[in-house]
Amino acid sequence: MGEFDFESRAADIHQALDWGHCQADDIDILNRVLSLIDDAPQCNTTLVHLAALGELEMMEALEEEPWAIDQPDRYGMAPIHYASMDGDLEILKMLIWAEADVNICDLDGLTPLMFAALNGHIDCIRLLVDSECNIEQRSHTEFRAIHYAAQFCQPRSVLALVAAGASASARGWLGQTPLHRLARCEMDTSFEAIKETISSLLVSRGVSIDSRDSNGDTPVFRAVAKGNLPVLRCLVEAGASLLPVNESSRNILHMVAMFPDVEILRYLSSLDPTVFLGINTEHRAADGLTPMNHVPIHDPGPIQNPQEMAASWSLKQDTQKLYCLIRYANLKHRSEQLRTIIRLVDQKQAPCARLQLAHVISEKKEWGQLELTSWYRGIDQMIQAREFDKMIYNS
């Protein structure tokens, strides 16, 4: 038999387990397969583990191996982790009655509460909370149970955790909130589950749908970066803004150009153009690049087949279409603003005209368009000096 990389295989299995995709039946099968490998290390799965997986009676296993109640197996999982992951309430009750550690961590720092939350086992969550588990305990990546509940779109888990006192605005790795983690949910997650998860998070006081992580990214930005259209759509429908600029001075157009996705581009292009008002299509990020600098003039790299060529060209066209749509929406809005200002000036309503102009000046200053800022300030001075005829001529 060839050399078997047990450590690598065990790591792969544990990674699957960490993300909640490996169920008890799968673990049992893997245990049986690994037990047949001659050069695998001695299995440290105990009778209590087997009982937690439904192979034995739990009370008998605890009587036989009471010392194993918090013993980790080869994947770093204690029996209580499996019971919480499977949602086996009776087994979980027995383990807690036998004084299992309700806050015990696996190799990645995941607790029983986290496993129950990401799998949507509400009764297990309530039992663990009643057993005084730490609802704000962090994994090795600084995430809490509510982050995992959001990531796996478990709205009932979110509500149960919030009801128990968990913070819906808790920060984890890179300052990400549960809403940020939602961008990592599976693409085939239903819209209803995503919407309910967002709603269950937003009911908590102080939670913002446009919260920023340590990079200044909002949940919308993370959804674009992950190519997660269902989450992006649900966030926008829930009122998320497309206007923020992150710490790298990138706006939404930078993000879609850097992480191009045909479906996301077409969805954004289908929105009411007014949602894009205030987005500067020529904005330069901290690296000096505008959004369209990320769109290659020529197709990058060798094109191996017509399908790749068509896909590349489609992405480019859809990005340019969105760029033009945003630019036109802002130009049209600016034109309407200026016509309103001229009408107010013509009616000798200087205070109202200056108030409208102040919004234009503020935006141009924010966009770094200094020449236009100076020009509009000159117009403002003319209005202030009651030089109405001169102002209309210069406009």
pLDDT computed for residue 19 by the predictor: 45
pLDDT value at 91 more than 70: yes
The answer to whether the CB of 101 falls within 8 A of the CB of 70 is: yes
- Cβ atoms within 10 A of the Cβ of 4, count? 13
pLDDT computed for residue 141 by the predictor: 92
pLDDT value at 244 more than 50: yes
**CB neighbour burial string for 251-277, b if at least 16 within 10 angstroms, e if fewer:** bbbbbbbeebbeebbeebbeeeeebbb
**DSSP-assigned states of every residue in 103-141:** T---TT---HHHHHHHTT-HHHHHHHHHTT--TT---TT
pLDDT band at 301 (very low <50, low <70, confident <90, very high): low
Average pLDDT over residues 283-293: 93
- Domains, the chain, ordered by start: 1-139 (1.25.40.20)
Q: Which residues contact 118 (CB under 8 A, 6 or more apart)?
A: 20, 148, 149, 151, 152, 154, 157
What is the greatest pairwise CA distance in the chain?
A: 98
| Each residue's pLDDT tens digit, 136-146 | 999 999 999 99
pLDDT computed for residue 377 by the predictor: 82
pLDDT value at 255 more than 80: yes
pLDDT computed for residue 5 by the predictor: 42
Which of the 8 DSSP states describes residue 394? H
Average pLDDT over residues 50-74: 90
Average pLDDT over residues 122-138: 96
pLDDT value at 33 more than 80: no
pLDDT value at 99 more than 50: yes
pLDDT value at 34 more than 70: no
| Each residue's pLDDT tens digit, 2-22 | 443 434 444 554 554 444 444
Cα distance between residue 27 and residue 21, in whole Å: 11
Average pLDDT over residues 229-233: 97
pLDDT band at 1 (very low <50, low <70, confident <90, very high): very low
